[in-house]
Structure 1
C-alpha cells in the first residue's frame, strides 16, 4: 500500500473532535478517597481501544492528576482511542496526610490497583459517560505512564518487586492489558539507585523486569539523568527495554530530559527541555505503536519509524527486539 493511501496517514490528517468528561467516579471500596478519572474519546467511531494513562509525581499542583498530560491524551483520543486518566493517591490535588495514608508518598501498590479498578468498573464509566456506551473495545487495552506512572505501568505488564514492608514478592500483572508505553520510566534497583532513593523509597530496590513480557514501547531521553534517583544517568531509563524480554521497542529521544519536551501539559513551566516538536513526535510515535499493536498488519508504526529516521536532523532513533 502506498503512503498516499495509508489508513494511518488518513487518520492523522483527519483528527476527530474529542469528548472529555471528568471527574467520573469509579467504585473503589476501601480506598482512602473515591477513585476519580477523566475519560477522553473521539465523538464518533466504534471498537475503540482503551489506554489507561498513569500520571507522574511532579512538582505541579494539578498536572499529576486526571488533569495532566493533555498533549498525549487529546492526541490519542482524537485519533481513535479511549483514554482513561485516574487521579492516584500520590497526587498533590488530594493532599493526603502521609502519616495516615499507607504507602505514602508514592503509593506504588495502589497506583497499579487503580488501573485494575478502572477495568473492573468500566460499566460504571460507560454509565457516567453515555456517549461512550458500547464504543470501547474492552479486549484491546493498553497502559501508558510517565515517570512514576511508568513504574505503575511496568508492574501492570509483569515487572516484580519485593514489598519492603513484609518481604513478599509482589505480582500486580494485569492480563487484560495487551500493550504498554513507558515514558521516562524508572529502571532497575540495587546499586543503580542513589543512597537517598534506596533509603527513602526502598520499593525501588528490588525492581525486576525479567517477567515483564507484555509488548511495550519504552521512551527515554538521552539527557534524562534523574540524578536524584539514580547513579547510572540516562541509560537507567532504558532498563525496561534492555532488561525485559521481547517484544519490546526503545525510542531514544535526542537531547530530551525527563519531561520529554513537555508531555505533562501544555506550556508547563517546570519543563526543562521544552520542545513542541518533540512532544508532537512522542504523540505520533506512541499512537502509531499502539495502533499497530491493536491492528495487526497496520503500517502506522513502520511509517512513524521511517519518518523519524528521515531527514538530516532526526529527533531520535528506534530499536526493537
Structure 2
C-alpha cells in the first residue's frame, strides 16, 4: 500500500521541523524589465543547511508549489523561489515584446540568486551563518525544468543542430526535473517550433547528478509525442541517472503546484506525498548530507510502491 510506503520513507528521511518563510525578498537585477523578487523558506533549526533553488512553471510565481518547497524546507533545506518574468502577475503574454527573452531571463534569475546568497541570508531572521553554500541543487517544474536543466549542463540546439552556449553553473551539484519538456524537432507543434527556441534541448552535456520525475498520463499540447516526452532528460543525458514515473499522473503530478489550483487536473495527495519524500531522499544523498537516503528510498519504493509508479536507474 502507498500509505505504508510513505511511512517507510518518513523513517528514512526523518521528521520535519517548523519552517519560516519570507517574501517578497528583493534581489538586485538592474537590467531586468521588472524587479526580481523571491520567497525564502528555511527550517527554524539546524546548521550547514543546503540550498535548493526552485524554478516555477509557466505563469506561476513565488507563492506556488508549497506542497514541495515547504516540505523540503521542513526537512532541512533553504528553498529559494523566484517569480520569473512569465508570471501572470507581470502580464507579459506571448505577444509582448519582452516574451522572446523570458527563457534567457529565467536562467539569469537562478544565477542572480546564487550570486546574492548574502542578501537571502540577511532577509530571514535567524538564518545568518546557517547556509552551506557548497551544497546547492536546482529544481524546476515544466518550463522551470528547462530553466533548471540549463544550469545542470543541458544546452539549446541552434538552427543547424549544434549545441549552443554552455550556461552550466559549477556551484550547482544536483538537480530535480519535474515534468520537464523533452527533445524538439518535428514532434513539436508549429506554435512551439515558432515561439519556443528553448524547446530544442541537447541533453548530451547534462552531466550533473539529476532525478527526473514524470507522469505516465502527461500529454503535452506542445508535442505530438506521448508522456514519454517528459522522460527524455533521463533517456539522453549522462547525469540523469534516476527516473521516477508516477502512474496516472498528469502535468501537475498530483498537485505539486497546489492542490486546489486550476492546473491540478489529477489531484492525488498520496502521490504528492511520495514525490515529497522521494525527492527529499534524493537531495539528501545527491548533496552528500546522508549518502544512504536515496539507496534506501529507492529500495523501499521498489518493494512497496505497487500501482503508484515505477523507478528506473542506470
TM-score (norm 1): 0.89
CA contact (8 A) 1:53 1:84 kept: yes
Q: 1:7 to 1:217 in 2, by over 3 A?
A: closer
Number of matched pairs: 304
* Alpha-carbon distance change, 7 to 49 in structure 1, aligned in 2, over 3 angstroms: farther
Instruction: Please give the root-mean-square deviation of Cα atoms over the aligned residues, in Å.
Output: 2.1
- The whole-number CA distance in structure 2 between the counterparts of 1:149 and 1:211 is 18
Q: Greater RCO between the two (CA within 8 Å, min separation 6)?
A: 2
For 2:5, the equivalent position in structure 1 comes to none
User: 1:257 deviation in Å?
Assistant: 0.8
Q: Distance in 2 between matches of 1:280 and 1:11?
A: 13
In the aligned structure 2, how far is the partner of 1:163 from the partner of 1:33? 28
**Larger displacement relative to structure 2 (150-159 or 194-203):** 194-203
> In the alignment, is residue 267 of structure 1 matched against residue 269 of structure 2?
no
SS of match in other structure, 2:243: strand
Query: 1:11 and 1:288, CA in 2 relative to 1: closer, same or farther beyond 3 A?
Result: closer
Measured after TM superposition, the shift of residue 53 of structure 1 is 0.4
| SS at structure 1 position matched to 2:231 | helix
Q: Secondary structure at the match of 1:258?
A: coil
- Deviations along 1:12-33, one digit per CA (max 9) or x if unpaired, are 3x21000000000111111111
- 1:15-34 equivalences in 2 (<5 Å): 15-34=16-35
Indicate the SS of the match to 1:49. strand
Contact 2:155 2:163 in 1 (8 A): no
Q: 2:88 is paired with a residue of what secondary structure?
A: coil
Gaps of 5+ in 2: 1-7
- Runs (4+) of structure 1 exceeding 4 A deviation are none
1:10 Cα shift?
6.6
Q: Indicate if the aligned counterparts of 1:308 and 1:314 stay in contact, CA closer than 8 A.
A: no
User: 2 CA distance for matches of 1:90 and 1:96?
Assistant: 6
Cα deviation digits, residues 63-99 of structure 1 (max 9, x gap): x100000000011000010000000011111223653
Match of residue 251 from structure 1: 244
